[in-house]
Each structure stands twice: as C-alpha cells, then as structure tokens.
Chain A
C-alpha cells in the first residue's frame, strides 16, 4: 500500500499507479473466488499429441477469459475453473484408467473431453457409470451418440458432416457442367480410426444417394509415411473427388504428396488443414484444396465473453504467440466453447450438484463465438453447421454451404 501511494504521488507515474491499483483489485477479486476443478485426460504424447496440445490451449484460454470476466457465478458465489490434466498417451485404455483416477481418487465431479473420438469412446463409459457430466469438444464420431449416454455432451458437429458437403458440392458442380451427379467418381482415403471411419461412412452414404461410383476406398495405417500407392491409383482411375482424412499427420502427408506427384483431381477435400498448417508448410501445393472446419474466424458468431469469432482469434493469438503465423485451429475454438458451456450451465443450475448440472447442460441453448450450441437427446450439438473452406492463394475462404460462403469455389482445382 505504501509503495502504491508513493508511486501515485509522483505525477509521472500516475498511469502506472492506476494500472497497479486495477491489477491489485482484480487480484483480490480472483482470490475471493473459489475454484471448481474440472478433470481432463488429454493426449500430450503419442499420435494425437499435436491436437491434444491445441485442445489444452483452448481449455486454458477459455478459463483465463472467464476469470477476466468475473468468473462463474453459482448461487451468488464466485468461482473460477481449474483443470486437472493427465496425459493419456493417445491410448484408449490409459484414458479410461485416468478418467477413473480423476473421478475416484482426485474427486473430480465434472469432466472435459479428451482429443479424438477413439479416446472419447474409451472414457465415456466411465463418466457415464459415475454419472459425471462430460462436455467434450473433440469426439465427433456418430458411434458415440448411439450408446444412450446421458452424461456425454459434444459441442461439435458429428463427423459424417465433415466432408459429406464436399460430395454435395461435387454433385452441384457436375450439374452446372452438364454432367449427371451419378457420373462423378469418388476416391476415399481415411485413417483407420473411429473419427475418420465415420467421415468415410458419411461420404459413402451421400455418394450412394447421388449414385456416385467409389473408385478408391483405402484405410491409412496409423504409421503412415507414404501415400504414393494410393495416389498412383488416383492417377489411373481419375476420380472427380478425392477425400482424405487422417488428423494432422494425414493432412500433411496428403498435401505434400499431392504436390509432389502432380495430382490433378478437380476437387480435393481434406480434414485438419489448419491443425497441420498445410499452407505454412507446403505453400502452393495446398492451393485450391477444400478443408472442412467446425469453425472459421470469419463467421459472424458472437458472445459476451469471447466477443466475435474474429476477436477470439485475435486474442488467442495474443495469448499464445506460437499461433501468430498460422490459423487458430478449430480444435482450440471448440475446446474453449466446451468450457463456456460449463460456465453457462453452472450459472443456470445455480448449484454445484453434478446431477442438477447435468440437467442444466442438457437444456443448453447458447450462442457462442463458436456457433450456436443446443444438444440433442443423445448429446450431440444439432444447432451448428459445418463449413467448407477452400485454400485460395494461401487464404482460407468459406465456399460452402451457400449461406455462409464468402467466396466462389475454384473449380477445377489447378495444381501448382
């Protein structure tokens, strides 16, 4: 206090003093708030480590933002979130053990999800049995939502929607060019995991609706280093659409080799472009590739905590400078949204009881910077659409669905 007064007396240091004072009050306020501990088993090592890290940053950023905005008000008291993390090594059985440990031994009452559908599938039975509400942001496979889980909630759109819109797009383009959609040939290469297999299922469903022909249908192994065998088939069979899904590693390998081998498929759609930073790493090879995304910073969603989608990106980059040169991946945004759902639900529940909280989460009807969030009976978010972006001269521009499109689709893709 004395120091502050001395500083305040000096005219030149007045501004500094005020800043100090403000910081001081916030400090005091934060101390008054109690903590709510959320548990999370997340992949910090192993094959999902990159995206596990994106997810963790999303959680931490949201917690920080909520704290800055006065914390969580539950029943007239103020709380701040805190997350207890364990590393699940990208292994399902480890994840399940850790979830149990969090609940049983660390006494965690509320869980945030892990990264990937596979890990979520491993953890969900545990949280379900303990009746611990889990809001997850990274498990999109539909096979998660047919088990009748009542304590599992996902803020993201399910995975069959990721690239099915690329098929619709291909059908539209075919019609515009005077061809029948059933003449379109599709090549699919997806990683052998729950998420990508569900993407494949979605693509196959939509393709068969249009009567399209699947000419290549391959599963990528987990230790993928070379896709040239698939790309050779693509060259021979000349499909009109190429679909690749394999988390960050699959995206990186695909884009690199598509460039190397001069693949000239008119429409190429890939997942996880932003997380793999394909524009930064492979430059022109990534041009005109379609990327599915759960969220784009150009969309017009807004909420009182994070501001607009664009504002989220700006502030996140300021807080985590290592993202300054690349796109903020949607994995981070949806992780933040999951924390926000908890804040909203806690405040509506007005209690720390996990069952009251669960009911409050189920009734969520929230507009966020990430998009609208409203859960179906099975726990998946049915309010938010997916968008498809195309990399045009190094920029990600939304091209589908039509109501969000800011740019026209470049078709056919011109290999660089």
Chain B
C-alpha cells in the first residue's frame, strides 16, 4: 500500500513522468490497435472471435526475426511477414475458420483457442522459448533530462504502424474489394444477392487480418521482444480494445488502442509491473460490465 502511495506521489512530484508514461503507452498501444483492428475486421465481417490473434502477431514477429537472421533488411522483414502471414492466414481459413463461420460463436472461440495453443507450441519447437528481438542500432532520443527516452526503433515502429493502418483504411474505403468486404459485413445475404462471392470475401478478410497481425509482429520484434507464449498478451489486448470500441469503427479502435496502452502503463506504474496483465484483464471485465449495463438499460443483453 505504501508503495502504491509512493508511486502516486511520483506522478505529482515529477509531472513529466505522466508524459513519459503516456508516450510509452501510446507507442505500444499503436501496435495493440493494429492487432485489434484485424480482430474487429474478422469479428465484424464473418462473426468469428479469433483467440489466436496474438499468436498471429508472434508468428509474424518470428518470421521477420528469422529472415533478418538470414541477412535481409529489417524493413523488408515487415513486408515478408505481411506476405507469409497472409499465406498462413489463408491456409488457416481453409482448414479451420471456413468450417466454423456458420456455427455458434463458442465454436469459433474454442477452435481458435485450440489454434492458439498449437501455434504457440509450434513456434516454441521451431525457435525455442527464449525471448528474441532484432537489435537495431539506431539512436535513442532523450528529452527532459534523459527522463523521457524514445528509441528511434520504437518511433519508426509507430510510424510504420500508422502507415499500415492508413493503407488499410484507404483500401477499405476506396478499392472494390474493400467495398465488397464492407457490404458483406453489413448484410451477407444481400451481398450474395448482389453477386458478391462472400466465400472469397471471407477468405480475403481473414488472410488480410493475419497479414496485418504479422506486420505488427514484425514491428514489435524490432522495438520490443517476442517469445512463443506472448500471444495471449496481444489477444487479450485486442479483445479489450474491440470490446471498448465496438466493431467497424476504425478511429474508435485506434483511440481505444492508444488509450488502453496508456492506461496499462499507468496501472503498472502505480500498482507495480507485476500487475500489468491483471490490469489489462480487469479493464476487459470492466468494459464488459459497462457495456452490459448500457445494453440492459435498453432492455437488451450482450450476446
């Protein structure tokens, strides 16, 4: 308890710490938002709640890490992770996801949970259980007496995450495929009537989701670290964000992502870093509760 009060005191004694926490939170939050956007996409379009979301992120990270070990440039690694994970997403869709779309939602939840266990373990067998990262020898910018430090690698990560998000938004808004995806999300039957091959849309959407996650993972491995079993961390964050922002609301997802990144940093500053995961999960529970009460007021339930 003393420690919590001490930590709170720090926030007031050194107001600059708040800025530091927010910057840290926003940087990791941008990556959370990417994974969450992919989740919102598959959730909204095909009503699949993908618990293996985080494992796609980690798999993308390992793809990039491995390729960089083989000597390619880290930035190409992001592109490679995008492409490789697109392929893995497509295979996953064919083998598993396509068979659970029409089923009840617990089925997709459990099937993707199985997928998550499988992917984490395959990564563990392939790459070992050590944490891995790509060591980029870029400068670290220091501000405010060295209190705030922004490694260039993280900054670039955030910029690339933003570029990727922008690209996806543009794609969804402008391209024929994007329009078809949005149409399918609104009403799959009507979309089919209008001549849209929804099966193709589904497989495209899921592959796109995996690819976005993969690219996010490739960015994460450059600025943070990955480990085969870290997937659940990103899955939980993605669920928190989507629950907070709702589906099909990209600006909302990004805002929620950044906000949750910052909240989590505050939580682990005040309570101690040991509570980081607990803070994220409790946020999810609080959000679920809030949404439930909101629905109840309209005499509806959250389902």
In the assembled complex, A265 has its CB within 8 A of some CB on chain B: no
Contact A47:B129 (CB < 8 A) given known A229-B265, A235-B146, A236-B17: yes
In the assembled complex, B165 has its CB within 8 A of some CB on chain A: no
B227 engages A225 (CB within 8 Å) = yes
Interface string of A368-405 (1 = CB under 8 A from B): 00000000000000000000000000000000000000
B224 engages A260 (CB within 8 Å) = no
A-B contact pairs, 9 of them (CB 8 A): A45-B125, A189-B273, A225-B226, A225-B233, A226-B225, A228-B24, A229-B269, A232-B269, A262-B149
CB < 8 Å neighbour of A49 from B3, B128, B276? B128
A260 engages B274 (CB within 8 Å) = no
Chain B residues with CB below 8 A from A248, complex form: 130
In the assembled complex, B47 has its CB within 8 A of some CB on chain A: no
Chain B residues with CB below 8 A from A218, complex form: 272-274
B131 engages A220 (CB within 8 Å) = no
Question: Which of chain B's residues 91-133 have a Cβ closer than 8 Å to chain A?
Answer: 124-125, 128-131, 133
Contact A223:B124 (CB < 8 A) given known A218-B272, A248-B130, A262-B142: no
How far, in angstroms, from A217 to B128 measured CA to CA in the complex?
A: 31
How far, in angstroms, from A15 to B42 measured CA to CA in the complex?
A: 72
CB < 8 Å neighbour of B273 from A50, A220, A249, A282? A220
Residue of B at shortest CB range from A228?
B24
How far, in angstroms, from A252 to B146 measured CA to CA in the complex?
A: 22
Contact A227:B273 (CB < 8 A) given known A49-B128, A235-B147: yes
Contact A221:B276 (CB < 8 A) given known A226-B224, A232-B20: yes
In the assembled complex, B186 has its CB within 8 A of some CB on chain A: no
Question: Which of chain B's residues 131-182 have a Cβ closer than 8 Å to chain A?
Answer: 131, 133, 135, 140, 142, 146-147, 149, 151
How far, in angstroms, from A252 to B233 measured CA to CA in the complex?
A: 20
B17 engages A225 (CB within 8 Å) = no
B274 engages A233 (CB within 8 Å) = no
Residue of A at shortest CB range from B276?
A221
Chain A residues with CB below 8 A from B128, complex form: 49-50
In the assembled complex, A317 has its CB within 8 A of some CB on chain B: no
A260 engages B140 (CB within 8 Å) = yes
Q: Determine how close the nearest CB of chain A comes to the CB of B141; give it in whole angstroms.
A: 11
Given contacts A49-B124, A235-B147, 10 further A-B contacts (CB under 8 A): A45-B125, A50-B128, A189-B273, A221-B274, A223-B229, A225-B233, A248-B130, A252-B130, A253-B131, A260-B140
How far, in angstroms, from A237 to B3 measured CA to CA in the complex?
A: 13
How far, in angstroms, from A125 to B211 measured CA to CA in the complex?
A: 48
Contact A45:B129 (CB < 8 A) given known A221-B276, A223-B277, A226-B224: yes
How far, in angstroms, from A221 to B277 measured CA to CA in the complex?
A: 8
B17 engages A223 (CB within 8 Å) = no
Chain B residues with CB below 8 A from A249, complex form: 130-131, 227
A260 engages B147 (CB within 8 Å) = no
How far, in angstroms, from A236 to B274 measured CA to CA in the complex?
A: 20
Contact A252:B273 (CB < 8 A) given known A225-B230, A262-B146, A262-B149: no
B149 engages A261 (CB within 8 Å) = yes
Residue of A at shortest CB range from B133?
A256
In the assembled complex, B10 has its CB within 8 A of some CB on chain A: yes
Interface string of A227-254 (1 = CB under 8 A from B): 1111011011100000000001100110
In the assembled complex, B243 has its CB within 8 A of some CB on chain A: no
How far, in angstroms, from A50 to B228 measured CA to CA in the complex?
A: 13
Chain A residues with CB below 8 A from B272, complex form: 218-219
How far, in angstroms, from A227 to B224 measured CA to CA in the complex?
A: 11
In the assembled complex, A192 has its CB within 8 A of some CB on chain B: yes
Chain B residues with CB below 8 A from A237, complex form: 10
B277 engages A260 (CB within 8 Å) = no
Residue of B at shortest CB range from A232?
B20
How far, in angstroms, from A230 to B268 measured CA to CA in the complex?
A: 9
Contact A236:B24 (CB < 8 A) given known A220-B273, A223-B230: no
Residue of B at shortest CB range from A192?
B274
Chain B residues with CB below 8 A from A261, complex form: 140, 149
How far, in angstroms, from A264 to B131 measured CA to CA in the complex?
A: 25
CB < 8 Å neighbour of B124 from A45, A229, A232? A45
How far, in angstroms, from A261 to B276 measured CA to CA in the complex?
A: 20
Chain A residues with CB below 8 A from B3, complex form: 217
In the assembled complex, A46 has its CB within 8 A of some CB on chain B: yes
How far, in angstroms, from A232 to B229 measured CA to CA in the complex?
A: 26
Contact A223:B224 (CB < 8 A) given known A218-B272, A230-B273: no
CB < 8 Å neighbour of B7 from A45, A50, A228, A233? A233
How far, in angstroms, from A81 to B114 measured CA to CA in the complex?
A: 41
Chain B residues with CB below 8 A from A227, complex form: 273
Chain B residues with CB below 8 A from A225, complex form: 131, 224-227, 230, 233
Interface string of A74-107 (1 = CB under 8 A from B): 0000000000000000000000000000000000
CB < 8 Å neighbour of B274 from A47, A220, A226? A220
Interface string of A252-292 (1 = CB under 8 A from B): 11001000111000000000000000000110000000000
CB < 8 Å neighbour of A252 from B20, B24, B131, B226? B131
Q: Which of B10, B129, B233, B268 has the most CB of A within 10 A?
A: B129
How far, in angstroms, from A219 to B226 measured CA to CA in the complex?
A: 20
Question: Which of chain A's residues 157-186 have a Cβ closer than 8 Å to chain B?
Answer: none
CB < 8 Å neighbour of A219 from B225, B233, B273? B273
Q: Determine how close the nearest CB of chain A comes to the CB of B227; give it in whole angstroms.
A: 7
Residue of A at shortest CB range from B149?
A261
Residue of A at shortest CB range from B28?
A226
Chain A residues with CB below 8 A from B140, complex form: 260-262
A232 engages B17 (CB within 8 Å) = yes
Chain A residues with CB below 8 A from B147, complex form: 232, 235-236
B151 engages A260 (CB within 8 Å) = yes
Question: Which of chain B's residues 245-279 have a Cβ closer than 8 Å to chain A?
Answer: 265, 268-269, 272-274, 276-277
Chain A residues with CB below 8 A from B142, complex form: 262
How far, in angstroms, from A220 to B28 measured CA to CA in the complex?
A: 18
Q: Determine how close the nearest CB of chain B comes to the CB of A128; give it in whole angstroms.
A: 30
Q: Which of A221, A227, A237, A252 has the most CB of B within 10 A?
A: A221
Q: Determine how close the nearest CB of chain A comes to the CB of B112; give it in whole angstroms.
A: 20
Q: Which of A45, A229, A248 has the most CB of B within 10 A?
A: A229
A236 engages B131 (CB within 8 Å) = no
Residue of A at shortest CB range from B269?
A229
